[in-house]
Structure 1
Amino acid sequence: MKKIRAAMAAFILLTIVIAFPAHASENIILEIPQSVIARTTRALLPYDVDTHSKSIDGKITIIDISKVQLEKDQLSCRLHMAGSNLALVTDIAGHQIKLKVGAVEINFHSEARLRFDRNRQKLFVRPFIKDLTTTGDGINDEIGRTLVSLFNGREFPLAMQKLEPLIVEAGAKTVAIDTRIDDIKASRGKITLRLAPVITAK
């Protein structure tokens, strides 16, 4: 039985090495369905947003993301955000003035364009916002528009972490299949990752 298992492992190992020679030009394709993307984004919530803004101060949190849809190079969704302890910041004669506006909640639809920078290994998201509605006890319309302006049309980078290598052992031989993201594309109902494999054997 041990000989059979060893033989099977050796066969799988040989198949992988033949299919993906070192520095292979063929990419490994990984497809992530829209439903998985939706569940993943919801699992990250609530999410505090760091806006790096000079025009608004306070805490801004994404409370809910719904109606996630993927199309060609685009992700659309509905977002519910809340701001607390908010203040509009202005500069008058070199003095910083903060106008406290309290709390506000906004709902809006976003259509975000996606692009991947292979050299920097970053996915860039550029949201475009419409259908804004606001509630709360602040200067609702003004603070709502100010919050939206922090995101609308701006490109936000998402750093992609290096994927763990796949390790295959057979007898005294160990093969590692390491990958680097070659491209990320959105299409109808899914996101596709193209992974460039590099094979090393010891």
Structure 2
Amino acid sequence: MKRGVTAPKALLFGLVLYAPSASAIQSDNPNPSMDFMVGAGEFGAAITGERFSVGAIAGPLGEDPRGHLRVTFPDPTFDVDTPVECLVVVDNLAAAGSEVLENAGGAVQRLVLLVEDNGKAGDPLPDRALPVRLSITVENPPAQAFCTAALGLIAGAEPIDHGNVTVHDGQPTSADVLGAAPLPKLGAGTWRVELPDGTVTTVEVP
């Protein structure tokens, strides 16, 4: 959804870079089977320096995630430029996760961008987004676990003031289900969650 004035050139970088891939997918099939999340957004005035761009795609079961994620916030811990290593899409909600950012003392940490796509330009509800940093102290947690756990935090997402994000939830065919390799088992544990405003909390995943 687009809201307000045209986004700044820096913000449009993500749209120019990633929109063709989504457009190409949809031109071949108006309801493609792939999951994807593409676009860019900015919170508040440009001077705040709070923005993101993302282009992420995966199979309809979350398999083979790929793409790129850029998040820029004044807090350096929320300033990342990284390949996408997980993607979870449920209806109009999506979570795209970074590469491992820290792995110290047994705690593995990634940044996950959450997005809620609320429609097209002119619709009353703005798109919403939220970057979060998650860490968990378990051995070799699969990347997909970070996106799955993070999606439960979508209620805290903030409206995007400028930008556009498109989320597509691909529906698997019977061939996809039968031919797909099983995703890694998502480990249970206590997740540490850091938000851009400095809030730190924990989330239990059974």
Q: TM-score, normalised by structure 1?
A: 0.30
Q: TM-score, normalised by structure 2?
A: 0.29
Higher strand proportion: 1
